[in-house]
Copies of this chain bind each other. A is one copy, B any other.
Amino acid sequence: MWRNCVRLAKGLGRSAVLRPDPKVSRCGVVRGLSPTAPCSPTAPCSLLWNSVTWLSQARQSKDYALPNSSWSQGMMDLYNRFLEMCKDGTWKRIPSYGNSVDHIPESLKLAPEKEQKETRLFSRNMDTEGLGFEYAMFLNPSEKRMVCLFQPGPYLEGHTGFAHGGSTATIIDSTIGGCAIFVAGRVMTANLSINYRNPIPLGSVVLVDSKVDQVEGRKVFLSCQVRSIDGQTLHAEATALFIQLNSTKSLQQQMSSQ
Protein backbone atom coordinates (compact mmCIF):
# COMPACT_ATOMS: atom_id res chain seq x y z
CA MET A 1 0.00 0.00 0.00
CA TRP A 2 2.73 2.42 0.96
CA ARG A 3 4.58 1.66 -2.23
CA ASN A 4 1.55 2.83 -4.13
CA CYS A 5 1.40 5.98 -2.08
CA VAL A 6 5.03 6.73 -2.87
CA ARG A 7 4.32 5.99 -6.51
CA LEU A 8 1.52 8.53 -6.36
CA ALA A 9 3.89 11.09 -4.91
CA LYS A 10 6.46 10.44 -7.62
CA GLY A 11 3.75 10.55 -10.23
CA LEU A 12 2.98 14.07 -9.17
CA GLY A 13 6.54 15.06 -9.88
CA ARG A 14 7.50 16.11 -6.41
CA SER A 15 10.56 14.10 -5.64
CA ALA A 16 13.05 16.83 -4.72
CA VAL A 17 14.00 16.93 -1.08
CA LEU A 18 15.68 19.85 0.67
CA ARG A 19 16.26 19.80 4.37
CA PRO A 20 15.74 23.14 6.09
CA ASP A 21 18.89 24.78 7.41
CA PRO A 22 19.00 24.09 11.17
CA LYS A 23 20.45 27.56 11.74
CA VAL A 24 17.47 29.09 10.06
CA SER A 25 15.04 27.01 12.02
CA ARG A 26 16.42 28.41 15.27
CA CYS A 27 16.14 32.08 14.28
CA GLY A 28 13.36 34.56 15.02
CA VAL A 29 10.57 32.14 14.09
CA VAL A 30 7.19 33.85 14.45
CA ARG A 31 8.67 37.29 15.10
CA GLY A 32 10.73 36.89 11.96
CA LEU A 33 7.67 36.38 9.78
CA SER A 34 5.80 39.53 8.93
CA PRO A 35 2.19 38.79 8.02
CA THR A 36 2.38 41.67 5.57
CA ALA A 37 5.58 40.56 3.89
CA PRO A 38 5.24 39.99 0.15
CA CYS A 39 5.64 36.35 -0.82
CA SER A 40 7.34 35.04 -3.91
CA PRO A 41 8.07 31.66 -5.43
CA THR A 42 11.72 32.30 -4.67
CA ALA A 43 11.10 33.11 -1.03
CA PRO A 44 14.14 32.26 1.09
CA CYS A 45 14.08 29.10 3.11
CA SER A 46 14.08 31.19 6.30
CA LEU A 47 10.67 32.59 5.44
CA LEU A 48 9.33 29.18 4.54
CA TRP A 49 10.69 27.54 7.64
CA ASN A 50 9.40 30.31 9.86
CA SER A 51 5.95 29.70 8.43
CA VAL A 52 6.22 26.04 9.32
CA THR A 53 7.09 26.94 12.86
CA TRP A 54 4.19 29.34 13.01
CA LEU A 55 1.83 26.53 12.10
CA SER A 56 3.01 24.50 15.05
CA GLN A 57 3.58 27.20 17.65
CA ALA A 58 0.10 27.73 19.03
CA ARG A 59 -0.68 27.74 22.73
CA GLN A 60 -1.07 24.40 24.41
CA SER A 61 -4.49 23.07 23.45
CA LYS A 62 -5.60 19.57 22.57
CA ASP A 63 -3.96 18.44 19.36
CA TYR A 64 -6.63 16.65 17.31
CA ALA A 65 -4.17 15.45 14.69
CA LEU A 66 -2.98 12.58 16.85
CA PRO A 67 -4.19 8.98 16.51
CA ASN A 68 -7.32 7.93 18.36
CA SER A 69 -9.29 4.71 18.62
CA SER A 70 -11.51 5.62 15.66
CA TRP A 71 -8.63 5.54 13.22
CA SER A 72 -8.63 2.53 10.93
CA GLN A 73 -5.57 0.36 10.43
CA GLY A 74 -5.09 1.97 7.01
CA MET A 75 -5.09 5.43 8.59
CA MET A 76 -2.63 4.34 11.27
CA ASP A 77 -0.28 2.72 8.76
CA LEU A 78 -0.20 5.82 6.59
CA TYR A 79 0.25 8.09 9.60
CA ASN A 80 3.19 6.02 10.88
CA ARG A 81 4.83 6.07 7.46
CA PHE A 82 4.69 9.84 7.36
CA LEU A 83 5.94 10.07 10.95
CA GLU A 84 8.91 7.97 9.87
CA MET A 85 9.62 10.45 7.07
CA CYS A 86 9.55 13.30 9.58
CA LYS A 87 12.67 11.98 11.29
CA ASP A 88 15.11 13.41 8.74
CA GLY A 89 13.20 16.68 8.44
CA THR A 90 11.82 16.01 4.97
CA TRP A 91 8.30 16.15 6.34
CA LYS A 92 6.82 17.91 9.32
CA ARG A 93 3.70 16.89 11.22
CA ILE A 94 1.23 19.77 11.57
CA PRO A 95 -0.80 19.90 14.80
CA SER A 96 -4.50 20.79 14.69
CA TYR A 97 -6.64 22.48 17.33
CA GLY A 98 -10.35 22.90 17.94
CA ASN A 99 -10.39 26.66 17.60
CA SER A 100 -9.07 28.98 14.91
CA VAL A 101 -7.52 31.23 17.53
CA ASP A 102 -5.33 28.40 18.79
CA HIS A 103 -3.52 28.31 15.45
CA ILE A 104 -2.39 31.93 15.73
CA PRO A 105 0.60 32.96 17.84
CA GLU A 106 -0.25 35.34 20.68
CA SER A 107 1.88 38.09 19.17
CA LEU A 108 -0.19 38.17 15.97
CA LYS A 109 -3.65 38.00 17.50
CA LEU A 110 -6.11 40.83 17.20
CA ALA A 111 -8.16 41.80 20.24
CA PRO A 112 -11.44 40.30 18.99
CA GLU A 113 -9.68 37.03 18.29
CA LYS A 114 -8.64 36.69 21.90
CA GLU A 115 -12.23 37.02 23.06
CA GLN A 116 -13.72 34.26 20.90
CA LYS A 117 -14.30 31.28 23.19
CA GLU A 118 -17.56 29.71 22.13
CA THR A 119 -16.57 29.00 18.57
CA ARG A 120 -15.09 25.86 17.03
CA LEU A 121 -13.01 25.34 13.96
CA PHE A 122 -15.47 23.85 11.45
CA SER A 123 -13.36 20.79 10.70
CA ARG A 124 -12.86 20.06 14.42
CA ASN A 125 -16.31 20.71 15.81
CA MET A 126 -17.30 17.19 16.87
CA ASP A 127 -16.95 16.10 20.49
CA THR A 128 -16.98 12.38 19.71
CA GLU A 129 -13.95 10.93 17.94
CA GLY A 130 -14.56 9.28 14.61
CA LEU A 131 -17.93 10.86 13.76
CA GLY A 132 -16.69 13.77 11.72
CA PHE A 133 -13.38 14.83 10.19
CA GLU A 134 -10.50 12.61 11.25
CA TYR A 135 -7.35 13.91 9.66
CA ALA A 136 -3.68 14.64 10.08
CA MET A 137 -1.53 16.89 7.92
CA PHE A 138 2.12 16.72 6.99
CA LEU A 139 4.13 19.45 5.33
CA ASN A 140 7.06 19.05 2.98
CA PRO A 141 8.69 22.51 3.17
CA SER A 142 11.12 22.06 0.28
CA GLU A 143 8.36 20.97 -2.09
CA LYS A 144 5.86 23.53 -0.73
CA ARG A 145 3.50 20.64 -0.43
CA MET A 146 0.94 19.69 2.20
CA VAL A 147 -0.70 16.27 2.42
CA CYS A 148 -3.65 15.34 4.58
CA LEU A 149 -4.61 11.82 5.62
CA PHE A 150 -8.37 11.98 5.81
CA GLN A 151 -10.89 9.49 7.17
CA PRO A 152 -14.45 10.84 6.79
CA GLY A 153 -16.78 9.75 9.59
CA PRO A 154 -20.47 8.82 9.41
CA TYR A 155 -21.63 12.36 10.24
CA LEU A 156 -20.20 13.73 7.00
CA GLU A 157 -22.67 11.95 4.76
CA GLY A 158 -24.01 13.23 1.47
CA HIS A 159 -25.23 10.42 -0.76
CA THR A 160 -25.89 7.30 1.27
CA GLY A 161 -22.58 5.82 2.39
CA PHE A 162 -20.42 8.56 0.85
CA ALA A 163 -18.87 11.81 2.03
CA HIS A 164 -20.83 14.99 1.27
CA GLY A 165 -19.33 17.14 -1.47
CA GLY A 166 -19.17 19.95 1.08
CA SER A 167 -17.06 17.86 3.45
CA THR A 168 -14.67 17.05 0.60
CA ALA A 169 -14.50 20.77 -0.20
CA THR A 170 -13.79 21.48 3.46
CA ILE A 171 -10.86 19.11 3.76
CA ILE A 172 -9.45 20.34 0.44
CA ASP A 173 -9.83 23.97 1.51
CA SER A 174 -8.14 23.21 4.83
CA THR A 175 -5.24 21.30 3.31
CA ILE A 176 -4.61 23.62 0.42
CA GLY A 177 -5.05 26.54 2.81
CA GLY A 178 -2.37 25.12 5.10
CA CYS A 179 -0.08 24.98 2.10
CA ALA A 180 -0.84 28.62 1.29
CA ILE A 181 -0.20 29.64 4.91
CA PHE A 182 3.19 28.04 4.62
CA VAL A 183 4.32 30.41 1.87
CA ALA A 184 2.26 33.50 2.65
CA GLY A 185 1.34 33.57 6.32
CA ARG A 186 -2.28 34.55 6.99
CA VAL A 187 -4.35 33.91 3.88
CA MET A 188 -7.93 33.62 2.74
CA THR A 189 -9.58 31.53 0.04
CA ALA A 190 -10.50 33.62 -3.02
CA ASN A 191 -11.39 30.78 -5.40
CA LEU A 192 -11.82 27.07 -4.99
CA SER A 193 -12.73 24.89 -7.98
CA ILE A 194 -13.25 21.18 -7.45
CA ASN A 195 -13.82 18.40 -9.95
CA TYR A 196 -15.43 15.48 -8.17
CA ARG A 197 -14.31 12.27 -9.90
CA ASN A 198 -15.31 9.42 -7.60
CA PRO A 199 -17.28 9.67 -4.36
CA ILE A 200 -15.37 8.99 -1.14
CA PRO A 201 -16.83 6.12 0.92
CA LEU A 202 -17.44 6.99 4.57
CA GLY A 203 -14.83 5.33 6.77
CA SER A 204 -12.29 4.97 3.97
CA VAL A 205 -8.92 6.72 4.05
CA VAL A 206 -7.82 9.11 1.32
CA LEU A 207 -4.74 11.21 0.73
CA VAL A 208 -5.32 14.90 0.04
CA ASP A 209 -2.17 16.08 -1.73
CA SER A 210 -1.74 19.82 -2.33
CA LYS A 211 1.08 21.99 -3.59
CA VAL A 212 1.87 25.60 -4.36
CA ASP A 213 1.98 26.14 -8.13
CA GLN A 214 2.74 29.84 -8.29
CA VAL A 215 2.96 32.98 -6.19
CA GLU A 216 2.29 36.41 -7.67
CA GLY A 217 2.48 39.23 -5.14
CA ARG A 218 -0.23 38.49 -2.58
CA LYS A 219 -1.80 35.78 -4.75
CA VAL A 220 -0.99 32.13 -4.13
CA PHE A 221 -2.11 29.59 -6.74
CA LEU A 222 -2.36 25.98 -5.66
CA SER A 223 -3.61 22.61 -6.84
CA CYS A 224 -4.68 19.42 -5.15
CA GLN A 225 -5.59 15.82 -5.78
CA VAL A 226 -7.56 13.49 -3.52
CA ARG A 227 -6.70 9.82 -4.04
CA SER A 228 -7.27 6.50 -2.37
CA ILE A 229 -4.22 5.41 -0.40
CA ASP A 230 -3.35 2.78 -3.01
CA GLY A 231 -3.25 5.61 -5.54
CA GLN A 232 -5.63 3.80 -7.89
CA THR A 233 -8.73 5.94 -7.42
CA LEU A 234 -8.79 9.66 -8.10
CA HIS A 235 -11.60 11.04 -5.96
CA ALA A 236 -11.24 14.74 -6.69
CA GLU A 237 -9.00 17.37 -8.25
CA ALA A 238 -8.96 21.02 -7.28
CA THR A 239 -7.35 24.35 -8.00
CA ALA A 240 -7.39 27.30 -5.66
CA LEU A 241 -6.39 30.92 -5.32
CA PHE A 242 -5.56 32.29 -1.90
CA ILE A 243 -4.92 35.93 -0.99
CA GLN A 244 -2.31 36.90 1.54
CA LEU A 245 -3.89 39.02 4.27
CA ASN A 246 -2.59 42.27 5.64
CA SER A 247 -3.34 42.22 9.33
CA THR A 248 -3.90 45.99 9.43
CA LYS A 249 -7.03 45.68 7.28
CA SER A 250 -10.23 43.83 8.03
CA LEU A 251 -10.98 40.65 6.10
CA GLN A 252 -13.79 42.37 4.23
CA GLN A 253 -11.57 45.25 3.15
CA GLN A 254 -8.93 42.92 1.85
CA MET A 255 -11.23 40.63 -0.04
CA SER A 256 -13.07 43.57 -1.60
CA SER A 257 -9.86 45.14 -2.89
CA GLN A 258 -8.29 41.99 -4.34
Contact = CB atoms under 8 A, between A and B. Distances in A.
Interface of A: 99-101, 104, 110, 112-113, 116, 118-123, 125-126, 131-132, 154-167, 169-174, 177, 188-199, 202, 251-252, 255-256
Contacts of A161: 112-113, 116, 119
B166 A256 contact: no
B251 A199 contact: yes
Contacts of A164: 121-123, 170, 173
A188 B235 CA distance: 13
A122 B251 contact: no
A151 B67 CA distance: 33
A120 B252 CA distance: 33
A188 to B, nearest CB: 7
B191 A193 contact: yes
Nearest to A172: B166
A119 B155 contact: yes
A155 to B, nearest CB: 4
Contacts of A177: 165
A244 to B, nearest CB: 13
B189 A196 contact: yes
Nearest to A237: B191
Contacts of A251: 159, 162, 198-199
14 contacts: A99-B157, A101-B160, A119-B160, A122-B155, A122-B157, A123-B164, A159-B188, A165-B170, A166-B170, A167-B170, A169-B170, A188-B196, A188-B199, A199-B251
Nearest to A194: B192
Given A123-B164, A164-B121, A165-B173, A190 B198 contact: no
* Best-surrounded residue of A118, A131, A169, A172 (most CB of chain B within 10 A): A169
A191 B198 contact: no
A181 B125 CA distance: 29
Contacts of A160: 100-101, 104, 110, 112-113, 116, 119
A166 B133 CA distance: 12
